[in-house]
Amino acid sequence: MNAVYLDAKMSDDARRRALYDGQLFLYSPTPASLELVRVARQMTEEAFAPLAPEAAQFSLPVEKYVEVLAALKPKFIHHPRCKELLPRILGELGCDLTKTYFDVPRLRTATSDNYLTSGIAYAFHPHRDTWYSAPMCQVNFWMPVYDIEPDNSMAFHLRYWARAVRNGSVDYNYAEWNRESRQNAAQHIKTDTRRQPRPEEQVELDPQVRLICPPGGIIVFSGAHLHSTVPNTSGRTRYSIDFRTVHLDDVAGDAGAPNVDSACTGTTMGDYLRGTDLAHLPAELIARYDTPPAAVGARSDGR
């Protein structure tokens, strides 16, 4: 059973338990989320000026569009306002900032009509973040920057919350990926040859749920949910912001969603920053999750 809670008033501890049980949470825009959206819009509009960001793809050659995103996205990630606003959003949602650690927010684009679906605007196939070395206690936050509709949103594939999907996560190690692939995102314009964990069986995409909220509204879900980028047929580029958190008690206590099929190694644990002072998690906790790359024999391609 999966429920969707709207503006739930429950404590963060209770909410995380519910998230690890597959429940979804949806929040109305908060003052800080609206401010984050304002910052994202301002940067995006400046980057594409004089074109409107949602329509710019129709006036720009794809190489030029990639160039704009390649400058815009890192600028947003590292913008000092983001590191101020994320803790504020988490505080507004009832998180204990002394124990909640977040990673930098990402600005994502989903172009319409298959204009650009690789590299820097990668259209995510159905996946769990936990296939990408995220811990089972990772909580994801996702918000639209402009209005969304079902045809340019994201989808949850609920049938697989408790059911395994055969997948290639055994080949994924976060440290290896960072070394080899991430820097090259902007080079992948027409196709994306980077190795990513994918389903290795036919995924039944339905039943699926697409949550629609206003700009600055926040979808909160477990990183273990199977989710995907919806093929955008809306005629408008979708811009969204997402970021992730972990809670110290859950990291220390190995709490989190059940692992039904993730076999990746390594960990993203070193990325999260404490809500109060941007400190990293204790090194011994990071080390506990940082498993070495899978042995050659375990890999599907025998590397």
Closest to Fe ion by CB, 44 vs 268, is 268
- Judge if the upstream peptide bond of residue 231 is cis by omega within 30 degrees of 0: no
Closest to Fe ion by CB, 27 vs 141, is 141
Q: What is the DSSP string of 88-128?
A: HHHHHTT--TTTEEE---EEEEE-STTS--SGGG--PPSB-
Closest to Fe ion by CB, 68 vs 111, is 111
- Nearest 5°: CA angle at 228, between 225 and 229? 145
- Min dist CB 256 to Fe ion, Å, is 16
Closest to Fe ion by CB, 27 vs 221, is 221
Nearest CA to 273 among 143, 100, 134? 100
- Judge if the upstream peptide bond of residue 50 is cis by omega within 30 degrees of 0: yes
DSSP, res 159 = G
- Min dist CB 279 to Fe ion, Å, is 25
Crossing angle of helices 80-92 and 31-48, in 10° steps, is 150
Contacts with Fe ion, residue ranges (CB under 5 A): 129
Nearest residue to Fe ion, scored by beta-carbon proximity: 129
> Rg (Cα) of the chain, in Å, rounded?
18
Nearest CA to 120 among 60, 73, 165? 73
Closest to Fe ion by CB, 68 vs 266, is 266
- Min dist CB 183 to Fe ion, Å, is 20
Closest to Fe ion by CB, 41 vs 106, is 106
The helix (H) or strand (E) run that includes residue 68 is: helix 62-77
- Min dist CB 223 to Fe ion, Å, is 7
- Min dist CB 127 to Fe ion, Å, is 6
- Min dist CB 130 to Fe ion, Å, is 10
- Min dist CB 236 to Fe ion, Å, is 21
Return d(Cα 78, Cα 177) in angstroms, integer. Answer: 20
Return d(Cα 294, Cα 303) in angstroms, integer. Answer: 10
Closest to Fe ion by CB, 129 vs 271, is 129
The helix (H) or strand (E) run that includes residue 242 is: strand 238-247
